[in-house]
Amino acid sequence: MSEPPTAQLFRDDAFLKTCTSTVVGINERGGIILDRSIFYASSGGQPGDTGTMQLASGEMITIGATVYQDGKTTIVHVPAAADSALPAPGEQVTLNLDWDKRHLYMRIHSCLHLMCALVDFPVTGGQIGAGTGRLDFAIEDAGAIDKQDLTTRLNELISANHAITDHWITDDEMAANPDMIRTMSVKPPMGQGRVRIVDIGEGGGVDSQPCGGTHVAATGEIGAVEVPKIEKKGRQNRRVRLKLL
């Protein structure tokens, strides 16, 4: 079943905690599709958002997961309970985001951008959790990075409170600048004619890379962090763990 794309409000404003939307349809698994959403759908190692959806009747549904269907265009809100009441197509509903959890994801996600800026090796994977996260790098020389040193340098970038902003480029500009893509396992969200570039620091001086995720407004908002562990994962891979303090 092909559904129309969902307007992804979190991409223009990651700080929206509530919105009203119109129900477009219910998929065959009972997932709810809206015309627009503030719920980030699981992708790029970041879990989908959770929260509640208030129906026109006043009834409240708990949304236990948010995922994509049809590539990365249509967002599906999955009720936590299989026997949830469901809204009807055309109905107006109100979404309320589980903000505390999302903000933890935003802080970790933004700090992983800083880690990219400090560890100049190809990224092979990553994961974002509520207060912890990791990036995997293709590094042969185990001595190339040190957890103490990385912790110090991350906290320096955080303390400097660099602004995190974004701008858009065309798919053609993206294709002409493949070096901007840091994560080999996560393709930038192309195919819609334009790609969002996330910049940290003036003119992206600290970091600049394509990303469709949710970020804090400035690095100071990340708060103090630690790299508790760097693990060897295979001959060429190093897993760098991150946690908020």
Q: Which residues bind Zn ion (CB under 5 A)?
A: 211, 213
* Tokens at 224, concatenated: 């103090």
Minimum CB distance to Zn ion smaller for 25 or for 220: 220
Q: State the minimum distance, in angstroms, from the CB of residue 211 to Zn ion.
A: 3
Residue of 165, 215, 214, 210 whose CA lies nearest to 189: 210
**How far is the C-alpha of 73 from the C-alpha of 225, rounded, in Å?**
33
Closest CB to Zn ion among 126 and 213? 213
Q: Least distance to Zn ion from the beta carbon of 83, Å?
A: 36
Nearest distance in Å: CB 164, Zn ion: 9
Question: Given the complex with Zn ion, which of 58 and 203 has the nearer CB atom?
Answer: 203
Phi, psi of 87 (to 5 degrees): -75, 165
Q: Which is nearer to Zn ion, 32 or 108 (CB)?
A: 108
Number of H helices, E strands in the chain: 4, 16
- In angstroms, give the least distance from the CB of 226 to Zn ion: 20
Shortest CA distance to 182 belongs to which of 96, 228, 119?
119
- Residue number with CB closer to Zn ion (139 or 200): 200
Are residues 86 and 71 in contact, defined by beta-carbon separation less than 8 angstroms? no
CA-nearest of 109, 86, 116, 132 to 10 is 109
Minimum distance from residue 125 beta carbon to Zn ion (Å): 15
